A and B are shown apart, each in its own frame.
Chain A
């Protein structure tokens, strides 16, 4: 076993002072957010297409 490589894998643990940063830095984007983002973009695109459509004579 490569002990140095194993040692390098260890990361510092968060202490109490760092808790606030950890909470605010936590990624809160989930699949539902992604879904709404996709749906929102899709509805926006539909709205744009509707507005810019011009009837040809």
Chain B
């Protein structure tokens, strides 16, 4: 370390200059800081973080301008990125601060030892400046031509590469953008953290160069082709790529496969098996139906035959019944007495008539069916007894009915219309022309508020027996009923 006052060489650990007595404590701290930045810049340069290294070294020199190592390294980095004049400037300044034992001498000699090369560097810088001027004044094509030459002459001139890439990008053409990406790719290997390069590459992220991604495949295919020539053929899946172990995660794929399988199975069942099953069932049902139909037809035929036979037998039965009735002396009238009974009742009536018991004689005679009496004597006897007994018994019933109606005689003090109706109807059974009985039947129904039946009997007297003494009374009663 040199004393900042007298420039005398002083040991770094001393707090004061031996020559002039200058306090060196603060000076040493500043030099330490400068060295720290230099170390940082050196580390960055080692990993080709050249942009970061330039920043660190500049800061180092701002703290301590006589840090020769930092300045020499800065010059080297400038030279690496194609800034030859900047590099020479740094080395010259370094030589100025440390004339002896300085690496800058070596670097300057290295550059100046080859004048042609130095001239080439100078020409590239001039062409770059000219191209920049053209580009900034709208002549991009000229700038591209000049810059192409610059980058071919000095492949490490980062600024020229960046400018050419920018001009290529500005054209917007696909092939130019690919060229720009190729240029930026080459300089990104020189300075890996150049922000401008990274920014331009990001802008070109959509561009895919022809060689990208394809190269590894070619490398892998070539040995395979050779191996086929020399080695025995091997199954393609004999050797599988070893994949890192992964924890199995629950997947829905097996479930989906099962569902798809079930669906396919059901579809096959529906389209192939079910029609066959249905067809078999249908055939069976058809055959059974046919059998049933034949059986039913046979049964129908049997039933028809049986019905015919039944009708025939029924007719025969009726015929036999009729013959039997005829043999037994049938009634001839449905519900009436048979011939034998009729004659028995007639004999009984004759006996009562002879005993002058007209009521019993009339009742016995009423049971006789006069239509089946065959002999004239029997008919005459029947008519004789009827003429003598029926009016009498009819009149007897009439009188009893009237007494029941009026509450007289046997029914004294208690009018009984129902009993009266019953007796008067009996009176009409024995004598249909008994208009007195008809009139009192009308009266009974009138008293029982059955106007319709009452009118019926009154109208019967008026219409069927107009000479009857009851006609005028019947008419009066009808008027009472609103007729």
Which chain A residues lie closer than 8 Å to B166 at the CB level?
Answer: 3, 6-7, 10
Q: Are B4 and A36 in contact (CB under 8 A)?
A: yes
- Chain B, residues 121-145, CB within 8 Å of chain A (1/0): the string is 1100110110011011000000000
| A14 touches which of B65, B93, B125, B162 (Cβ 8 Å) | B125
Q: Are A30 and B62 in contact (CB under 8 A)?
A: yes
The distance from the CB of B8 to the nearest CB of chain A, in whole angstroms, is: 15
Given contacts A31-B30, A35-B30, A36-B4, is CB(A19)–CB(B89) below 8 Å? yes
Tell me, yes or no, whether B373 is within 8 Å of chain A by CB.
no
State which size class the interface on B falls in: 35 or more
Tell me, yes or no, whether B61 is within 8 Å of chain A by CB.
yes
Q: Are A23 and B92 in contact (CB under 8 A)?
A: yes
Given contacts A3-B169, A3-B170, is CB(A32)–CB(B4) below 8 Å? yes
State which size class the interface on A falls in: 20 to 34
Q: Are B63 and A31 in contact (CB under 8 A)?
A: yes
Tell me, yes or no, whether A22 is within 8 Å of chain B by CB.
yes
Q: Are A13 and B61 in contact (CB under 8 A)?
A: no
Q: Are A13 and B26 in contact (CB under 8 A)?
A: no
The distance from the CB of A53 to the nearest CB of chain B, in whole angstroms, is: 25
Tell me, yes or no, whether B159 is within 8 Å of chain A by CB.
yes
Q: Are A7 and B136 in contact (CB under 8 A)?
A: yes
Main secondary structure of the interface of B (DSSP, over half): helix
Which chain A residues lie closer than 8 Å to B31 at the CB level?
Answer: 32
The distance from the CB of B474 to the nearest CB of chain A, in whole angstroms, is: 135
Q: Are B122 and A15 in contact (CB under 8 A)?
A: yes
- Chain A, residues 27-48, CB within 8 Å of chain B (1/0): the string is 0111111011000000000000
Give CA–CA (A16, B118) in the complex, Å.
9
Closest chain A residue to B136, Cβ basis: A7
The distance from the CB of A34 to the nearest CB of chain B, in whole angstroms, is: 9
| B163 touches which of A10, A15, A26, A33 (Cβ 8 Å) | A10
Q: Are B136 and A8 in contact (CB under 8 A)?
A: yes
Which chain A residues lie closer than 8 Å to B83 at the CB level?
Answer: 13-14
Residue in B31, B162, B166 with the greatest tally of chain A CB atoms within 10 Å: B166
Give CA–CA (A13, B124) in the complex, Å.
10
Which chain A residues lie closer than 8 Å to B128 at the CB level?
Answer: 12-13
Tell me, yes or no, whether A18 is within 8 Å of chain B by CB.
yes
- Chain B, residues 28-56, CB within 8 Å of chain A (1/0): the string is 00110100000000000000000000000
Give CA–CA (A55, B456) in the complex, Å.
174
Give CA–CA (A6, B128) in the complex, Å.
16
Give CA–CA (A40, B354) in the complex, Å.
194
- Chain B, residues 182-197, CB within 8 Å of chain A (1/0): the string is 0000000000000010
The distance from the CB of B115 to the nearest CB of chain A, in whole angstroms, is: 11
Give CA–CA (A18, B64) in the complex, Å.
25
Q: Report which B residues bind A (CB closer than 8 A).
A: 4-5, 26-27, 30-31, 33, 61-66, 83, 85-86, 88-89, 92-93, 118, 121-122, 125-126, 128-129, 132-133, 135-136, 159, 162-163, 166, 169-170, 196, 199, 203
Offer 24 A-B interface pairs, CB within 8 angstroms, sorted by A: A1-B169, A3-B166, A10-B135, A10-B162, A10-B166, A12-B128, A12-B132, A12-B133, A14-B86, A14-B89, A15-B85, A15-B122, A15-B129, A16-B118, A19-B88, A19-B89, A28-B93, A30-B64, A30-B66, A31-B30, A31-B62, A31-B63, A32-B27, A35-B30
8 more A-B residue pairs beyond the given contacts A7-B136, A10-B166, A16-B121, with a C-beta to C-beta distance below 8 A: A1-B169, A13-B83, A13-B128, A15-B122, A15-B125, A31-B64, A36-B4, A36-B5
